Amino acid sequence: MPAIRCHFFAGLLHDVLKPLLKFKKGRKGWYWLHLDGLEVGGTKANLEEILGQSLSTILSENEVKLLVQLIRQHHGDAVKYNPITYAENEKGLGIAIIEAALIPRKDLKDMGLCTCIEAKGLTHPYHFFVLTLIYQGIKYYLNKVYDEIFSSLGLTRLIVEYNFGSEKLPEIQYDDEKLSLILRYHVPSTLYKGLKVVHEYGGNVFFNIEEAKAEYIKIQHAWSDVLTFLIPSPSVDGLTYKMLCVIPGIIVYNGKDISTNDDAKRSFESKVQYIVKSVLAEIQESIKLDRSYNEVLLDYVEGNEQGDASCIFCGKKTNRKIRLSRKRLLSEKFTDYHRIRIGESVCPLCHIGFQYEELLREQGPAFYLSLPCEISSVEVADDFKQRYLGYGEYPLNPEEGMVFSVLGLFTMQLMSDAWYSSLLKEVNKRSSSLPTWIRLYTLRKQKDMEEFYVKFLINRRVVIYPLIVKIRPKALVSSYGDRKKKFVLNTEILEGHTLWRGSELDITEEHLDVLEPLTNTFKSSLYKKVYGTLVNLYGL
Amino acid sequence: MVSESNQDADSLAIEFLKLVNDIIPWRDLPSEMRQDKWRILAKRVMASSGDDIQEFLHNIIKSIAGDSFYVTRSERGKEEGKGEEERRRLGKELEEYLKKVKSIGKEKELIDYIKSRAIPLIIRLSAEGGET
């Protein structure tokens, strides 16, 4: 275990000097310097000094030496003898590519990734709704699994602080009572001087913006927020969606060579399979169906249909007959007859989607699942550009597809989540029949609104220094209406220019662009009223 | 950020809505209308039309206030320390505005811009006047 712990912390800390953003131009292009010898404030960085003392309560002296050695050697041709390089490099697992590109060139199982579910033939919003519900449930339970594994290695909480201002070496603190690790980075930036951004990862947290002020932002993440992915992937069967998660403990390093731990892989995969089954059962139990879909639900998610009849919502083949009368499937308030087909059958996905929509609608507030946002523009911070004026160019060029190499899928999903969090607030009152991992939201009230949220809602700009990214958020939304509204089919994927539905008019990207000049001349006293007017005029 | 090509249309649109808002005699209208003035204005702007900007303006005002409108308006002096009231000659301002729009020559595009973005423009107008 101690050796594994040493490898684990080496992996976690191997890029500890990257936030200093030191680049050097070489013959083959730009190099991101992040190892020993890096000059910071007149002194040369020494990884042993930075890491040794802070990790001395969890690692022995020899283990710290091994950790530093692994970090120092994690580049170049070390793929055969360095576990960090093996994990990152395409000649090894190449797992880093999953963050950088949507479609990896390698087989996923050779990358240390486990495919929880491969969804095919999804055509109706209810299909995506059920898929994302499953994803949310799997993420929730996987987070507990990751937490158990990381806690056994000595880490229950990871806190990463980015302090913008002057250039300084990072500070690392390990608390051996709380098993928490704090990484305090000092990012050189004059433009954002004074800004502090804190990311907290752990086993008991959901993604949440805990505090948001102009100069201090604290964001909480679950481990599984950054270790599970739902990625679209083209195949011969059309567009499929793969739900993937990272398998921990797959690399075995004996001090010389690297091999893979098939037992750890099998054990993790069996846990995932158990979680998938549990989540499918939990979803069905919460809506109290008179007949279980346990046997066929996964088949339908994976694109297999059976039966001679066709579903009234999506047209998929099914053999499940249903009575549509108002006392059966359809509620007394149902009015959307023009949006369903003639027939009396329903497929498992639409049945569950429809019933869930009804259940959530009864709760009143909105339900949403964020999807990876699109990037509408990328700028590079001026102060960063100025540091490289002498070179005639700067290291990060938005024109060269760099966005994907910096912004991973999960980052884009979290950015969508952040945008919707600026408009919506989680509600605590909920039906006991809902699974614990379902979170319900309601529109923020004018009195609870903060200036930061109103600005972010309008300008949609996220600083991932040195990048300033303008996002086009996406989400799958169900149940906008409150319980008094008449029933309509209202589960849909919000994508493209429509960002939120209003009863008067939808909020679109174009409309928020028109509002943007306001954020530059905002009088602090007015932002709540601006938000109130926005809610009133759009009918949110 | 409003794109460069839209910047002219954007400032002309705000100027237009400011004039419309000033010309409408809100004070003489029923209190329910006054309380909901921004929503009413937004809806009327979206629902109105016109072959040119003058007709568009006329139709919006008529749909809200009928045949009554202000041609002058009192405003506090803008310079600090001056509590004096200024008389704005709305008729003259309107005439100058119409001349400016006609000289630019893209009235249809401007009408489309205002109608399609009525709500955010009106939110801005309300915030800029501190009146939300």
Q: What is the residue extent of each domain of chain B?
A: 4-75+82-128
CB burial string B28-62: b at 16+ within 10 A, e below: ebeeebeeebbbbbbbbbbebebeebbebbebbbe
The reply to whether residue B42 touches residue A532, judged by beta carbons under 8 angstroms, is: no
Task: Spell out the domain ranges in chain A.
Answer: 290-359, 364-538
Residue B124: band (very low, low, confident or very high) from pLDDT cuts 50, 70, 90 = very high
| Mean pLDDT, all residues of chain B | 83
Q: What is the pLDDT of residue A1?
A: 59
**Geometric angle at alpha carbon A426, from A415 and A183, rounded to 5°:** 50
Find which of A459, A514, A524 to mutate to test the B interface (most B CBs within 10 Å of its CB): A514
Classify A432 as helix, strand or coil. coil
Rounded distance, CA A383 to CA A485, Å? 51
What are the tokens at A119?
């969804």
A531: Cα separation from own chain's centroid: 27
Q: What is the pLDDT of residue B128?
A: 79
Alpha helices in A153-261 (DSSP H): 223-227
Does residue A86 surpass a pLDDT of 80?
yes
Helices and strands of chain B, counted as H and E runs? 7, 2
Cross-strand partners of B86 = B75
Rounded distance, CA B114 to CA B46, Å? 8
Distance from CA of A188 to the nearest CA of B (A): 27
Distance from CA of A40 to the nearest CA of B (A): 37
Q: What is the pLDDT of residue A155?
A: 95
Rounded distance, CA A400 to CA B60, Å? 48
Most confident range, picked from A85-89, A97-101, B45-49: B45-49
Nearest to A516 among B1, B43, B119 (CB): B1
Residue A49: band (very low, low, confident or very high) from pLDDT cuts 50, 70, 90 = confident
Does residue A241 surpass a pLDDT of 50?
yes
Does residue A343 surpass a pLDDT of 70?
yes
The 10s digit of each residue's pLDDT in A2-42 is 688 999 999 999 988 888 888 888 887 788 888 888 888 88
A475: Cα separation from own chain's centroid: 12
| Mean pLDDT, all residues of chain A | 85
Q: Which of B3, B38, B12 is nearest to B113 (CA)?
A: B12
Residues from chain B that touch A533, judged by Cβ atoms under 8 A, are 38, 123, 126-127, 132
Closest residue in A to B127 (Cα–Cα): A530
The 10s digit of each residue's pLDDT in B51-107 is 999 999 999 999 998 877 777 676 655 555 555 556 677 788 888 999 998 888 888
Q: What is the pLDDT of residue B2?
A: 47
Q: What is the pLDDT of residue A12?
A: 92
**A344 vs A73, A315, A351, A463, B34, CA distance in Å?**
65, 11, 12, 51, 52
B59 and A CB contact within 8 Å: no
CB burial string A504-537: b at 16+ within 10 A, e below: ebbbbbebbbbbbbbbeebeeebbbbbbbbbbbb
Nearest to B119 among A511, A518, A526 (CB): A511
Nearest to B123 among A510, A513, A530 (CB): A530
Q: What is the pLDDT of residue B83?
A: 53
The 10s digit of each residue's pLDDT in A355-406 is 888 788 777 667 888 888 888 888 889 999 888 887 777 787 666 655 555 6
Cross-strand partners of B2 = none
The reply to whether residue B127 touches residue A513, judged by beta carbons under 8 angstroms, is: no
Residue B15: band (very low, low, confident or very high) from pLDDT cuts 50, 70, 90 = very high
What ranges make up the beta strands (E) of A54-179? 113-119, 157-165, 168-175
Quote the percentage of chain A above a pLDDT of 70. Answer: 90
The 10s digit of each residue's pLDDT in A408-467 is 777 888 899 999 999 998 887 767 778 888 888 888 988 888 888 999 999 999 998 888
B1 and A CB contact within 8 Å: yes
The 10s digit of each residue's pLDDT in A143-195 is 999 999 999 999 999 999 999 998 899 999 999 999 999 999 999 999 999 99
The alpha carbon torsion through A109, A113, A115, A116 (nearest 10 deg) reads 150
The reply to whether residue A514 touches residue B10, judged by beta carbons under 8 angstroms, is: yes
**Geometric angle at alpha carbon A416, from A410 and A417, rounded to 5°:** 85
Angle of helix B90-104 relative to helix B4-23, nearest 10 degrees, comes to 150
The reply to whether residue B132 touches residue A538, judged by beta carbons under 8 angstroms, is: no
Per DSSP, A489 falls in state: -
Rounded distance, CA A353 to CA A334, Å? 15
Q: Which is it for strands A467-478 and A367-380: parallel, antiparallel or unpaired?
A: antiparallel
What are the tokens at B131?
């009146």
The reply to whether residue B123 touches residue A518, judged by beta carbons under 8 angstroms, is: yes
**Geometric angle at alpha carbon A15, from A13 and A16, rounded to 5°:** 65
Other beta carbons within 10 angstroms of residue A143's beta carbon come to 24
Residues from chain B that touch A530, judged by Cβ atoms under 8 A, are 123, 126-127, 132
The reply to whether residue B38 touches residue A504, judged by beta carbons under 8 angstroms, is: no
Classify A430 as helix, strand or coil. coil
Q: What is the pLDDT of residue A232?
A: 78
List, as ranges, residues 62-101 from B with C-beta within 8 Å of A.
Answer: none
**A155 vs A9, A67, A158, A208, A223, CA distance in Å?**
9, 16, 7, 20, 11
What's the ipTM?
0.85
Nearest to A537 among B1, B10, B39 (CB): B39
Distance from CA of B7 to the nearest CA of A (A): 10
Q: What is the pLDDT of residue A362?
A: 73
Residues from chain A that touch B130, judged by Cβ atoms under 8 A, are 523, 526
Does residue A229 surpass a pLDDT of 70?
yes
Q: What is the pLDDT of residue A328?
A: 65
Q: What is the pLDDT of residue A103?
A: 61
What are the tokens at A25?
């131009």
Q: What is the pLDDT of residue B1?
A: 46
Cross-strand partners of A369 = A476
